Structure 1
Amino acid sequence: MTDEVTESPGLVKTLRPYHVWALGVGIVLVGEFMGWNFTVAKGGILGALLAMLVAGTMYVIISLCASELGSATKLAGGPYDWARLFVGPGAAASVGLAVYMEFIALEAADAIVVAFIAQELFPQLQVFPVTLLVIATLTFINYRGVVAALTLNFFMTAIAFLAIILFFFSGTFGVFELHPENLFQGAMPNGMIGLFAALQFGPWFFLGIEGAAMCAEECKRPSRAVPLGQQAGMITLLVGAAMTLFICASLLPSSIPAEGLGVSVYPLFEAAQVSGVPVLVALLAIGTLLTCISSANGCVCDSSRSWFALSRDHFVSNWFASVHPKYQSPYKAVIFTMPIAIAFAFSGYLDQVITFSIVSGLLCYVLIPFSLLRFRKMFPSHINKIRPFVSPLQPWISYFAIIIAITIMSTLFWGYRYNLIFALVFYLIAYFYFHNKHKKHQKEFDWQREMGWPNPSHHNIEE
């Protein structure tokens, strides 16, 4: 399953911690400019706060798991490679497809939002041509190499995050008037069931941060860059989420579901408009646009790496496993993201596309900590060469993350039950198909040749 498939050069190892930060935060920060506020429509301000805290706890744990696994394996497939190495081929194929679908769907959604923003600024523009242009441009940038793509992400993400910080401190220092009493209005409009239902939108604050570890194979020092960039990214998002929730709730009414925060398309931008400060309005408009572009850009990077890894191990055609001789990018896998993203974008069902992305992500959040549990069982903690970064409080926090992910997934029955059922059936079929097709290769896996590790003892790999 892991034989060499091409004699083309390998992926270039040039990325540093700030590139990892830019990839993770660049994908996710868009969820703080829009989408998260639907928690308010379901559960009010208290529901939004609960969703942020519950999802934030899960993502902190997932980030720790991803840091340990990514710095150890140093492979481009991220969650796919972790499942392949430590769980089995069926789980690997399922999570590889889930990662691919998660980021492709996010890319499509981001491109559509960019097109809508462009249309608001220039009414003569049409949404679909702009969407196509955004997808094509970002595909070309990633085709030319990962350093250029993620350096661009770093600057766009830094500007967008700076916009949130300046907006927050402008309000707290009295540049415009805040209304903290809004935090107590409509705090729990739908009772306890609303609090529970709000959890389905909690991942918006952090969805995709695990993708930061997917550039491990292209990092100069992955054992340092992955944990540092991943954890710095998670801290950035936690701070940004808290600032966003406070400033938006203090400016936009949450007690009027038909008009307020719960149904806002661009909550940070609309909050800036309410502030009445032209500079902040312009800054948040720019931040909204840049964060959508950076998210779509990071999604091209991560989805192509997942498809590249699937191809390299013969789960899909190994034609996609080629590396460009000049740009050292998985260029065929990058190009293949374009027609799939366009298909999602032109379906016209944005909420359905996003929901499929969330379900795909939640499946990963079950299998990432499970992969870490298997990894630790197969390679105990005393093997320091294999595990350069060790996440704390294991295995308990991994079990806790799995429980949270399954709980959040169950809340999708409020509004998206058919999406949930379809996605689970799709990945279940993929699991059994690829498990039966590749189980022989799993038994013959040579850890010394493939990873440079000693083979785990029979006692450690027993189910």
Structure 2
Amino acid sequence: MATDGAGLSKSLGGWHLWGIAVGLVISGEYFGWSYGWAQAGTLGFLATTILVAVLYTTFIFSFTELTTAIPHAGGPFAYSHRAFGPLGGFIAGYATLIEFVFAPPAIALAIGAYLNVQFPGLSPKLAAVGAYGVFAALNIAGVTIAATFELCVTLLAIAELLVFMGVVSPGFTWGNFAAHGWSGEAGPLSAPALGGIFAAIPFAIWFFLAIEGAAMAAEEAKDPARTIPRAYIAGILTLVALAFGTMVLAGGVGDWRDLANINDPLPQAMKAVVGADSGWLHMLVWIGLFGLVASFHGIIMGYSRQIFALARAGFLPAGLSRLHPTRRTPHWAILAGALVGIAAIFSDEVLAFGGQPLTANIVTLSVFGAIVMYIISMASLFRLRRTAADMQRPFRAPGYPLVPAVALGLACLCLAAMIYYNLLLFGVFVALLALGWLYCRLTVLRRPAGGVLPEAGL
């Protein structure tokens, strides 16, 4: 459980944290969500996205209380450990780990798909592996360098989404968007339409997945009590606006069914408006990569801090908590997560089942981890309000207890729907948790009393 002396470097300001919060998520505007159209139709998926946007808005306003009260690299692991002990910490920590380790390979495959548009001879999978090499190295180089890069590419990605909306808006018609808008070609209250709405939940969550990862940079923030609330609130408002603008405009420029099962819906939507030879299209492909890169790079930062925190507390091998001697970054944690992600990229025989593309299944597996973590985080908020009433809380959840209760209820609803429609993938998720729990049980004697290190702040 060595941490090599000094802890993580405290060098991140408010803009850095906003860039991390938005950048972690922004690839969700570029790909992944359109699989939801295949499940629910455009109108059905619009209803799903409204539901999920409410979930994330209420969750972030509640989660911010935990992040500012317990600024810890483990994020949800730390909050749940404080509230429910080692078992709670394990569930939250490993669920977050599954979310953050399995999101990057999906994004890396999308990076490969975007590059394949420009270079048809380039293998998307090999390009994905190359992305891991480049951005793992950048994360090892130093947190300030990594966070500044994240902020820059996030700003470019937002600018490109605004350009996309402006270019395709002349080709938008509501008739195109609403055509075949409900699953089963039936009305909104029919069984097929309602089933599609719930089946599409993982892909609506992809619009916002991982925004909570900014919590894992809390130990590296200069003034977490002040900067984290601003970053979170501005971040969720930014993402809600971009999600609805991108989805609605992309769905109304032609036959949206052509975009429902691909990894590059935005270039294909723009192609329908400006043609395959337009400079706008080539610009979108190249600059659009910044959105994917922002999330890919940011989630590498997130998973490395989660692995680092779990290893520091004895829930993963101690060597993964070692910091680079000069850069003060968790280099072994970065490399370990990259190896798992690369294995997932080549896991067609294991994860490409149930009639879904590999990317869709990886997205769903990541979302399972997120939803479980959201549930136990909100439960931790309620418990800590009772058991640690005197804990310093620089930011308190507005509308308590209603706002966190809405987040908790919607998260439980989403989990139930996801299990019903993705039973096999839920089995994979449970198997991964079981393997983690087996490791924790076999190594329990290696952990100090209580299962955490004193410097972990718990």
Report the alpha carbon displacement of residue 439 of structure 1 after superposing the two structures with TM: 13
What is the alpha-carbon distance in structure 1 between the residues aligned to residue 263 and residue 134 of structure 2?
A: 25
Report the alpha carbon displacement of residue 181 of structure 1 after superposing the two structures with TM: 2.0
What is the alpha-carbon distance in structure 2 between the residues aligned to residue 178 and residue 443 of structure 1?
A: 58
Report the alpha carbon displacement of residue 264 of structure 1 after superposing the two structures with TM: 4.1
Which secondary structure state, in structure 2, belongs to the residue aligned with residue 88 of structure 1? helix
Which of 357, 363, 378 does residue 369 from structure 1 map onto? Answer: 378
Confirm or deny that 1:308 pairs with 2:308. Answer: yes
Which secondary structure state, in structure 1, belongs to the residue aligned with residue 171 of structure 2? coil
Deviates more, 1:160-169 or 1:242-251: 160-169
Alignment deviations for residues 391-418 of structure 1 (CA, whole Å, 9 cap, x no partner): 1112222232222122222223465211
- Matched with 1:271 is 269
- Matched with 1:325 is 325
Letter in 1 for 2:429: A
Asked if 1 retains the 8 angstrom alpha-carbon contact of 2:314 and 2:451, the reply is no
Which of 423, 426, 436 does residue 420 from structure 1 map onto? Answer: 426
What is the alpha-carbon distance in structure 1 between the residues aligned to residue 64 and residue 385 of structure 2?
A: 14
Asked if 2 retains the 8 angstrom alpha-carbon contact of 1:307 and 1:333, the reply is yes
What is the alpha-carbon distance in structure 2 between the residues aligned to residue 54 and residue 434 of structure 1?
A: 36
Asked if 2 retains the 8 angstrom alpha-carbon contact of 1:90 and 1:431, the reply is no
- Matched with 1:235 is 237
What is the alpha-carbon distance in structure 2 between the residues aligned to residue 151 and residue 238 of structure 1?
A: 23
Change (3 A) 1:321 1:375: same
Change (3 A) 1:112 1:187: closer
Report the alpha carbon displacement of residue 197 of structure 1 after superposing the two structures with TM: 2.2
Report the alpha carbon displacement of residue 311 of structure 1 after superposing the two structures with TM: 0.8
- Matched with 1:73 is 70
- Matched with 2:130 is 133
- Matched with 1:223 is 225
Asked if 2 retains the 8 angstrom alpha-carbon contact of 1:24 and 1:230, the reply is yes
Report the alpha carbon displacement of residue 445 of structure 1 after superposing the two structures with TM: 8.2
Alignment of 1:338-353 (within 5 A): 338-348=338-348, 349=352, 350=358, 351-353=360-362
Asked if 2 retains the 8 angstrom alpha-carbon contact of 1:159 and 1:287, the reply is yes
Report the alpha carbon displacement of residue 220 of structure 1 after superposing the two structures with TM: 0.6
What is the alpha-carbon distance in structure 2 between the residues aligned to residue 253 and residue 432 of structure 1?
A: 49
Asked if 1 retains the 8 angstrom alpha-carbon contact of 2:31 and 2:110, the reply is no
Letter in 2 for 1:338: A
Which of 174, 177, 180 does residue 180 from structure 1 map onto? Answer: 174
What is the alpha-carbon distance in structure 2 between the residues aligned to residue 199 and residue 450 of structure 1?
A: 35
What is the alpha-carbon distance in structure 1 between the residues aligned to residue 447 and residue 300 of structure 2?
A: 32
Letter in 1 for 2:238: T
Confirm or deny that 1:290 pairs with 2:290. Answer: yes
Asked if 2 retains the 8 angstrom alpha-carbon contact of 1:94 and 1:430, the reply is no
Alignment of 1:353-364 (within 5 A): 353-364=362-373
Letter in 1 for 2:310: L
- Matched with 2:190 is none
What is the alpha-carbon distance in structure 2 between the residues aligned to residue 444 and residue 180 of structure 1?
A: 56
Asked if 1 retains the 8 angstrom alpha-carbon contact of 2:19 and 2:150, the reply is yes
What is the alpha-carbon distance in structure 2 between the residues aligned to residue 444 and residue 185 of structure 1?
A: 55
Asked if 1 retains the 8 angstrom alpha-carbon contact of 2:168 and 2:250, the reply is no
Report the alpha carbon displacement of residue 292 of structure 1 after superposing the two structures with TM: 1.5
Report the alpha carbon displacement of residue 142 of structure 1 after superposing the two structures with TM: 0.6
Alignment of 1:243-254 (within 5 A): 243-254=245-256
Unaligned runs of 5+ in 2: 185-192, 353-357
What is the alpha-carbon distance in structure 2 between the residues aligned to residue 266 and residue 70 of structure 1?
A: 34
What is the alpha-carbon distance in structure 2 between the residues aligned to residue 40 and residue 7 of structure 1?
A: 49
Report the alpha carbon displacement of residue 135 of structure 1 after superposing the two structures with TM: 0.5
Alignment deviations for residues 197-241 of structure 1 (CA, whole Å, 9 cap, x no partner): 222322011111111111000001111121111111111110001
Which secondary structure state, in structure 2, belongs to the residue aligned with residue 216 of structure 1? helix
Which secondary structure state, in structure 2, belongs to the residue aligned with residue 228 of structure 1? helix
Asked if 2 retains the 8 angstrom alpha-carbon contact of 1:100 and 1:304, the reply is no
What is the alpha-carbon distance in structure 1 between the residues aligned to residue 425 and residue 38 of structure 2?
A: 20
Letter in 2 for 1:376: R
Alignment of 1:451-462 (within 5 A): 451=457
Asked if 1 retains the 8 angstrom alpha-carbon contact of 2:313 and 2:453, the reply is no
- Matched with 1:460 is none
Alignment deviations for residues 63-104 of structure 1 (CA, whole Å, 9 cap, x no partner): 123211111111111111111111221121222122222112
Alignment of 1:413-452 (within 5 A): 413=419, 415-427=421-433, 430=436, 434=440, 437=444, 451=457
What is the alpha-carbon distance in structure 2 between the residues aligned to residue 185 and residue 416 of structure 1?
A: 27
Q: Normalising by structure 2, report the TM-score.
A: 0.88
Percent of pairs identical after alignment? 26
- Matched with 2:38 is 41
Asked if 1 retains the 8 angstrom alpha-carbon contact of 2:177 and 2:253, the reply is no
Asked if 2 retains the 8 angstrom alpha-carbon contact of 1:8 and 1:324, the reply is no
Question: What is the root-mean-square deviation in Å for CA atoms of aligned residues?
Answer: 2.6
What is the alpha-carbon distance in structure 1 between the residues aligned to residue 244 and residue 294 of structure 2?
A: 21
- Matched with 1:61 is 58
Report the alpha carbon displacement of residue 303 of structure 1 after superposing the two structures with TM: 0.6
Alignment deviations for residues 368-411 of structure 1 (CA, whole Å, 9 cap, x no partner): 1112112212222xx4x710111111222223222212222222
Alignment deviations for residues 146-179 of structure 1 (CA, whole Å, 9 cap, x no partner): 111121111111111111222324455xxx3321
Change (3 A) 1:149 1:379: same
Change (3 A) 1:74 1:341: same
What is the alpha-carbon distance in structure 2 between the residues aligned to residue 346 and residue 26 of structure 1?
A: 26
What is the alpha-carbon distance in structure 2 between the residues aligned to residue 343 and residue 444 of structure 1?
A: 30
Letter in 2 for 1:275: V
What is the alpha-carbon distance in structure 2 between the residues aligned to residue 39 and residue 151 of structure 1?
A: 33
Asked if 2 retains the 8 angstrom alpha-carbon contact of 1:160 and 1:286, the reply is no
- Matched with 1:457 is none
What is the alpha-carbon distance in structure 2 between the residues aligned to residue 156 and residue 46 of structure 1?
A: 31
Number of residue pairs the alignment of both structures matches: 438
What is the alpha-carbon distance in structure 1 between the residues aligned to residue 39 and residue 438 of structure 2?
A: 36
- Matched with 1:455 is none
